[in-house]
Structure 1
């Protein structure tokens, strides 16, 4: 009887060991370390300067005057960006009215009612290899063309029109890539005394946004 009892206990112990072993499996754990995730950069320089220190002051202009300005824009960041040009609010100043202005029909009296911005022409575009230009368009696709009146560009943003020349790859400014923008300001010969002593202020604001 004792032999039978010990045999039953031994069998039960063996079953217990096997049963316990059914819940144990081989395993291994490996860890992939995420050491550093860094954000890329977009950094635009104008004429090699960051921040931009360009400042244009022109005085004593007269009918027939014109000036051309070239700005080299470079993406010194690590990400491609979409380039755009914003024209700030245009501020016209009257600066008083002499008899020539009055005789020309100037009826404005306010200090911010000068007529220069309504007579000054502007044209700007992106340059290709220093000789050819690609036009720029606003949000609805209207282009800046030759003899565009400055006041009509007030607080607008313009982009390189890539629809005409997609092969040039101007949609984005790649890291370390440069584009040159040309700005042309003209005061036509046909403008008369109504602009005398007037002045106008505005900014060219260059943007580089993630492409």
Structure 2
């Protein structure tokens, strides 16, 4: 007998056999009146939310010499609202002090920032005769506490040092773990400016998150120490002056939140970086030429290109479309340069240290002493109110690293994204996309993206 015939199946036979198997299986199922079953109930199920409770212990001290002596205070800030005031009067050159803050995040690790909404506010409080000889500005009245807002010099005269620290039980004092960025001549005014954009508090863990405490009395992460001194070299210009400043801590859960955005990085209106800029760049949906424009130092006498998308009237930025941009401060060239490139078109200021835009004065000071080791960057999205256009700046990266957050947008007025302390060793490169949502016919000269450097 041929083995091939014994085991051979035609395509029709194979399909027929499979069909019978299927029918047989179905028939077996018809003979069953009910499946075995059972039911177990799980009742009173609960999901209990974990805890993320931020508590800040503080300890302050001051030394005002033999006349007023030294002293301090300590306590805990916990709850909403909750605050603490550190108040000193009759501050004289040579006085010093320290503020120590020890955060505790109960139960869960968290990203932690310290920041300020209003920074420092100086007051002149009138002028004595000796002060008037050294400071001719004048503002406010002597004897009226905190009068003459914005005119005092005290915050610019107090030197500060900020560091991570921990309590030493042997010395019964705080010792420095490591200093934060404290440039030479770092003042209270400088610290207040930096706090407006927030400091990320490094918790000393692999991720940088602040470690959890099991309760409100157990310290796990580092404390923050702010040491201040009013140098003896300071003269009569600070007599009767006062300064107010505030700051706060903000915690956000780490779990499922790998790339948190700083709560202080964005805001309404213009950043202080823009008001104090060394130079600026702009991309206008529709400039004064009736076309899309890009600029360094603004339009005339700045450096500009009015033909970014064509030379005809109406060749504006395309609506509802991402358009990439590259803004650079090139510190590798001599002298350093600034450029903005969009759609293959580039505008360049060939020297950012001469105080001009390629020889024309613009009012922007630039960096006439040379580009500093770090600069602050602010991106502004601006849209005219009521025209239905939204300006979106997105996918922002600085020197190859994503900004956090990486987007800012506005459908009326200004919104900013601040990125302080950018290292300029290899230059500064800001990239991203700008997008104008709406109709091209509704564009005005008030729909634009700005990039300011301080």
Q: Does TM, normalized by the shorter one, top 0.5?
A: yes
Shift of 1:108: 4.6
User: Of residues 112, 119, 125 in structure 2, which corresponds to 1:83?
Assistant: 112
The 5 Å alignment of 1:1-211 reads 21-22=31-32, 24-33=34-43, 35-47=45-57, 48-51=76-79, 52=82, 54-75=84-105, 77-89=106-118, 90-109=120-139, 111-112=148-149, 113-128=151-166, 130=168, 131-136=175-180, 143-145=181-183, 147-152=185-190, 153-154=192-193, 155-161=196-202, 171-176=209-214, 177-178=218-219, 179-211=222-254
More displaced stretch, 183-192 vs 24-33: 24-33
Flag structure 2 segments of 5+ consecutive residues without an equivalent. 1-27, 58-75, 141-147, 169-174, 255-454
Q: Distance in 1 between matches of 2:102 and 2:93?
A: 29
Shift of 1:172: 1.4
What's the secondary structure of 2:189's corresponding residue? helix
Shift of 1:173: 2.6
Q: Distance in 2 between matches of 1:146 and 1:74?
A: 31
Shift of 1:147: 4.0
Alpha-carbon contact 2:108-2:212 (below 8 Å) kept = yes
Shift of 1:103: 0.8
What's the secondary structure of 1:71's corresponding residue? strand
Structure number with the higher strand fraction is: 2
Deviations 1:39-76 (A, max 9, x none): 2222122224424553211011111211112233222x
What's the secondary structure of 1:36's corresponding residue? coil
CA RMSD, 1 decimal: 2.9
Q: Distance in 2 between matches of 1:56 and 1:19?
A: 82
Q: Which has the higher contact order (CA 8 A, sep 6+)?
A: 1
Structure number with the higher helix fraction is: 1
Shift of 1:106: 3.3
Q: Give the structure-1-normalised TM-score.
A: 0.72
Deviations 1:23-47 (A, max 9, x none): 6322333444561112222212222
Flag structure 1 segments of 5+ consecutive residues without an equivalent. 1-17, 137-142
Alpha-carbon contact 1:69-1:184 (below 8 Å) kept = yes
Q: Distance in 2 between matches of 1:175 and 1:107?
A: 50
Deviations 1:86-129 (A, max 9, x none): 13421111111222222103325361111111212222222145
| Distance of aligned partners of 1:56 and 1:146 in 2 relative to their CA distance in 1, 3 Å threshold | farther
What's the secondary structure of 2:237's corresponding residue? helix
Q: Could you say which structure has the larger radius of gyration?
A: 1
Deviations 1:122-170 (A, max 9, x none): 222221454233334xxxxxx24564212223323112357xx667x86
Q: Distance in 2 between matches of 1:107 and 1:196?
A: 13
Q: Distance in 1 between matches of 2:45 and 2:183?
A: 52
More displaced stretch, 125-134 vs 181-190: 125-134
Alpha-carbon contact 1:123-1:147 (below 8 Å) kept = no
| Distance of aligned partners of 1:195 and 1:145 in 2 relative to their CA distance in 1, 3 Å threshold | same
Q: Distance in 1 between matches of 2:165 and 2:122?
A: 29
Q: Give the structure-2-normalised TM-score.
A: 0.36
| Distance of aligned partners of 1:103 and 1:149 in 2 relative to their CA distance in 1, 3 Å threshold | same
How many pairs were matched up?
A: 184
